[in-house]
Structures are given as structure tokens and as C-alpha cells.
Chains A and B, each alone.
Chain A
């Protein structure tokens, strides 16, 4: 019998089990709803939760820090105001920083009109690591898949009951509705809400297309072959 060199990989592994965009798990009727609270300001939160003033501030600060990262970006203030209304847009700070050491314009983004956080009484004592896909995404055995710790920080750790506080926006044509940075409508007024899991974690970058690539794709199912 002739000896042959092995023709297949010695091992295969996946280091990143989470989807690249965080949108793989689409909402469906069985999608669990997570209780959350919407506030239009820190003041409103503190008025309603006199025992939790510090938590209100922390939640707000986390949402505000996320705001420039996740808000949809526009190349002109006119485009931004067309979606979010007059005087409702501001310059993206990361953009300004980048523009300061080179020439060029800025990006614009809508102002934060509120934020969404976990309900205070519903918070576990210890943050449990987890993922959106509670059933799947587990290594089947310890040989085939590489260490999960290689996953990027931005996708891990968002257990259902410990949602990350996130900024909310209001569009020009539907000014009563609070929307996430990814344009999921979550509430029509402040207060308790149930949100689908796909609204729980905003994705960096908005749904606004600023690209000059991608137009031809509309005519084909897949750009690959």
C-alpha cells in the first residue's frame, strides 16, 4: 500500500463564533423580549428613582459614551437634518479629531434624545457572560474550536438581563418615537418597555449608506461566485 501525505488540514477551528455584524440572529415570533426602561434625560430617571440616582447617572454616561460610536453618520448636516429635523444634528467628535490632523470635512450625526437601560430591580448581582444565541454557538468539543476568548470584546458579554445602556434618537417624520441607533423603534414615550433582542446591542455604524460602492449588488443575489 502506498503511503500518502495527508491531504486535509490537520485541524480546523473557528475563533470568532459571533456573526460579523451582530445581525445574524434575526427577530422572529419566538424572539425573547427583554424588559428595559426608556428615559428622555438623567433628570427624569432620577426623579422616578430617588434611590438610584447614581445608577441613573452611570447608565446615562454609558449611553452617551456609546452615542458617537453608534449614531448614524452623514456627510452633510443637510442630509442628517433631512432624517432627524432642523437643529437636531451635531458634528461627530471622532470625526473632528480625525479631521484635525488632515484636511477635509466632518461627519454629522443626530443628537441623542434619550437612552434605554435595564430595569433597576431586574439586575442580577453578577454580570453573567453570555451571547444572543443562547442555544447555539457553543463549542461542540474542545478540539475543533479555538479558544472563545479570542472573540472581539465588542460582541461578547451582552446577557439578556444586563443590557448595555444605549442612546436613543427621534426621526423627523416620526418625532414621537424613540429609536435605537440601528433604527429599531422601541418606545413612544418614556417608561418601561419590552425590546426584542436585536435592539439590545447597537452596532457600530448606522444604517445610513454613505458608500459609493454597492449599487450594482441590487441586481444580483450574491456578489460572489
Chain B
């Protein structure tokens, strides 16, 4: 695993905008960054990242029936009793579309699971489409050898998965309208669904209505199936939570994903698979007042984009990210230092996270994010990667 500088393609911003990637720059700072790329060996992909991803996925799924059968675990994960049956009814009949797990991996030691983004994973367009185009372009430009490959079968697998899921049509795709990034992600997934032969329609989540206990669109047509880029824990707490109980809408991701998007899954994995080489020791925090020890990280049960994460590294240095989460409780996970690289163009150190995609039940590729901070945030830069021995 190496970080290598490379010349940027001329006109890539115009091209990005022409394909709807209008969030390539966020708040004046680059989000898509092609001033460098990461290079992995075939061994790192085929012997480490790919099998670790599929094994961790299998382990995570194995927890779902355990949790659904235990009132104590459901309560511990903060799922209201009123929705236990609703979640259980979706398992195992409604398989997942996709998920992304974040790994601590330096190319040398075994990948460790940092967390699962299994309900509302984003960066799917830049992973599946835009970095693929980047590689083809750079091979064409002669800057990368034709033998270079990429761990990225995301688009192919998404199209296959949309075919296999047997979804009601028209199948709706929804996101919060105000977020162009979320809309971009949803638009790409909708595009994959269209290529899988589905009839699709976009609906801003805020305009979803209900009548007689069923979800309807703005002209009153029943919404029989809907992809939602919106967390289950929000949906289970908002006004329409009660409508879920009477509605026949097939949601993607399915309701049982509410269990896996909760950081409580990390201590539960450690309990079920203690000392597994791809897991970090993790525990539910029983007293929030207890100070964080050296080499530990504290994460809220519900948290996205690194919000409200606090860590103390092996030297006792403390680092914390602010955010709106945390009222539901925390877990503690052993600190795994992200690999550190040197960014020559910025003359600064960067820390790099490997996001590993799962579509259906198969590993489908990786997404690299780097940041000057050890806590990867929504604004962390996305860099392309290649495989080359």
C-alpha cells in the first residue's frame, strides 16, 4: 500500500459536473482528490481485504437473528419495543442491497474493522463510477500501465443486485432534498437500477405522504417500494414511525439494517467472536464519566461521519470531534492508528482509511479516504486507487 503523486486530468472538474458529481469540492476544499493515488498489491487485495470483508460481513449478519431473538440486546441497541416485530418481519426475507465497512489497514498487518456503515453508506458514485473512469483515463494518458487494475466491481454488482432483489415497481428513490451529496448518491443508485431494467422515480423524502396507514407520493400513488438514504434510527423516531407498522412498503435498506448501523454491533461482534484477527476489542460503556484510557476510542451508538468520536492515542494525546450524537450511549473500542502517509503537494502528513464495499454478500471494491486528522470526517478527501504488482 503506497501513496503516489500523479498528474491530474485536465478538465476533470467540468467532466465531474457534467455527470452530476457537483460535490467534488466541499466548502472550497477538495473532496475528490486526484493529485495522488494509492497502490495496492494483488496480495493485499486478494489475500487480505477481500476475504476479510466477506468474513466480517458474514459475522455481522450472523448477529442479526441473535439480536432479534433477545429483548435484552434489542433494548441495549436502543430499539423501541414497538418496532421489534417490524424489524424482525424483514429478516431474512429482505436481503440487503449494499453496505460499506471501514477498515484500519496499513498494507502490512491484518485489516481491522473500525465500523460498519450498513444503513446509509455514501460515496458510492465516486467509488463505483468516477474512480473507474479515472483509471481508464490515466491508462489512456500513459501515466499508468495497462496492467493496472482496481478493486472496484461496484457498479456491476449493484446492477446484478437490483435485478436479484425482485423489487416492486415503480421503485422510488429518496433522500433529503437539501443535500446535493445525498442526492448524487441516490441518483447513481437509481441509475444502476434503471440499467437493471427497473422503472424508477425520485421522491424527496420530505414529500412522502401517508394515507390510511400506507405511504403515498405527492399525487397519492402508493409507494410500494423505496430506497431511502436516510437512517433507520431517524425513521423509527420521527412522526411516521407509527405508519411503518401498518405500511406494506418494501424498504431498501431493509428495516433489520437498523441493528447493524448501530455501533453497539462492535461490542456484540467482539463478544461473539472474541480475539478474531479482524476485530478490535470493543465494549459497551457502562459509565460515561470514566475517563478514556490511553489507546482507546469512544463512539456514540448512533454516529455518522465521525461525529462525536473521541480518542486517546497510545501516547495519551486526546482528539475529539464535535457533533449532534451521543445521547443514546457510547461504546469503547481499542485504538487502531490509521496508516500515515506523506502528502507531497500539501507537505503534510495524512491518515488513510479503507472503506470496503459489500453488495449482496460479496466484497465489491474499496474507497480510500484521507484526512490530516485521525478521525475521518465527511470532508475527508476521496482518492482513487489501483492494483499493481
CB <8 Å contact, B207 and A211: yes
Cα distance A210–B179 when bound, in Å? 18
Residue-by-residue, is A204-225 near B (CB-CB < 8 Å gives 1, otherwise 0)?
1110111111111101111111
Which residue of chain A has the shortest Cβ distance to B204 in the bound complex? A21
CB <8 Å contact, A209 and B210: no
B residues near A16, Cβ cutoff 8 Å: 187, 190-191, 194
* CB contact under 8 A between A9 and B195, given known A20-B190, A213-B230, A214-B230: no
B residues near A220, Cβ cutoff 8 Å: 304-305, 307, 324
In the assembled complex, how far is the CB of residue B173 from the closest CB belonging to chain A, in whole angstroms? 7
* CB contact under 8 A between A216 and B237, given known A13-B195, A20-B190, A224-B304: yes
Does B320 reach chain A (CB closer than 8 Å)?
A: no
Which parts of A83-119 form the interface with B (CB within 8 Å)?
A: 92, 94-95, 98-99, 102-105, 107
Does B220 reach chain A (CB closer than 8 Å)?
A: yes
Cα distance A99–B220 when bound, in Å? 8
Does B35 reach chain A (CB closer than 8 Å)?
A: no
Of A150, A206, A219, which one neighbours B324 at CB under 8 angstroms? A219
B residues near A224, Cβ cutoff 8 Å: 120-122, 181-182, 185, 229, 304
CB <8 Å contact, B208 and A221: no
CB <8 Å contact, B218 and A73: yes
A residues near B156, Cβ cutoff 8 Å: 9-10
Which residue of chain B has the shortest Cβ distance to A208 in the bound complex? B207
* CB contact under 8 A between A225 and B194, given known A8-B150, A204-B218: no
Of A210, A213, A222, which one neighbours B305 at CB under 8 angstroms? A222
Of B14, B117, B216, B221, which one neighbours A225 at CB under 8 angstroms? B117
CB <8 Å contact, A213 and B205: yes
Does A123 reach chain B (CB closer than 8 Å)?
A: no
CB <8 Å contact, A20 and B183: yes
CB <8 Å contact, A15 and B20: no
Of B153, B155, B183, B203, which one neighbours A205 at CB under 8 angstroms? B203
Q: Is the interface of A mostly helix, strand, loop or mixed?
A: loop
CB <8 Å contact, B206 and A136: no
CB <8 Å contact, B238 and A205: no
CB <8 Å contact, A7 and B149: yes
A residues near B218, Cβ cutoff 8 Å: 73, 107, 204-206, 210
CB <8 Å contact, A211 and B135: no
CB <8 Å contact, A92 and B238: no
Cα distance A12–B179 when bound, in Å? 25
Residue-by-residue, is B148-185 near A (CB-CB < 8 Å gives 1, otherwise 0)?
01111111100000000000000001011111111101
Cα distance A67–B164 when bound, in Å? 38
- Which of A133, A150, A221 has the most chain B CB within a 10 Å cutoff? A221
CB <8 Å contact, B230 and A217: yes
CB <8 Å contact, A211 and B240: yes
B residues near A24, Cβ cutoff 8 Å: 20, 22, 180, 183
Of A8, A75, A223, which one neighbours B179 at CB under 8 angstroms? A223
* CB contact under 8 A between A213 and B235, given known A17-B19, A99-B220, A204-B219: yes
Does B42 reach chain A (CB closer than 8 Å)?
A: yes
Which parts of A179-225 form the interface with B (CB within 8 Å)?
A: 204-206, 208-217, 219-225
Which parts of B97-143 form the interface with A (CB within 8 Å)?
A: 117, 120-122, 128-129, 132-133, 135-136
Residue-by-residue, is B324-361 near A (CB-CB < 8 Å gives 1, otherwise 0)?
10000000000000000000000000000000000000
Does A146 reach chain B (CB closer than 8 Å)?
A: yes
Does B314 reach chain A (CB closer than 8 Å)?
A: no
**Count of interface residues, chain B, beta-carbon cutoff 8 Å:** 81
CB <8 Å contact, B18 and A213: no
Cα distance A68–B218 when bound, in Å? 11
CB <8 Å contact, B183 and A19: yes
Does B37 reach chain A (CB closer than 8 Å)?
A: no
Does B234 reach chain A (CB closer than 8 Å)?
A: yes
Does A69 reach chain B (CB closer than 8 Å)?
A: yes
A residues near B239, Cβ cutoff 8 Å: 212-213, 215
Does A142 reach chain B (CB closer than 8 Å)?
A: no
Does B217 reach chain A (CB closer than 8 Å)?
A: yes
CB <8 Å contact, A15 and B194: yes
Residue-by-residue, is A145-174 near B (CB-CB < 8 Å gives 1, otherwise 0)?
010001000000000000000000000000
A residues near B183, Cβ cutoff 8 Å: 19-21, 24
CB <8 Å contact, A223 and B176: yes
B residues near A105, Cβ cutoff 8 Å: 211
Does B186 reach chain A (CB closer than 8 Å)?
A: yes
B-contacting residues of A (Cβ < 8 Å)? Answer: 2, 4, 6-10, 12-17, 19-21, 24, 68-69, 73, 75, 92, 94-95, 98-99, 102-105, 107, 133, 135-138, 140, 144, 146, 150, 204-206, 208-217, 219-225
25 interchain pairs, CB-CB under 8 A = A7-B365, A7-B387, A8-B132, A8-B135, A9-B152, A10-B156, A16-B187, A73-B209, A73-B219, A103-B212, A144-B136, A212-B208, A212-B243, A213-B234, A214-B230, A216-B234, A217-B178, A220-B304, A221-B179, A222-B304, A223-B175, A223-B182, A223-B229, A224-B185, A225-B122
Kindly list 17 other residue pairs between chains A and B, CB separation below 8 angstroms, not including A7-B45, A210-B208, A213-B208.
Answer: A8-B149, A12-B128, A12-B133, A19-B187, A102-B212, A103-B212, A107-B220, A136-B17, A137-B19, A138-B18, A210-B207, A211-B240, A213-B239, A220-B324, A221-B378, A222-B122, A223-B231
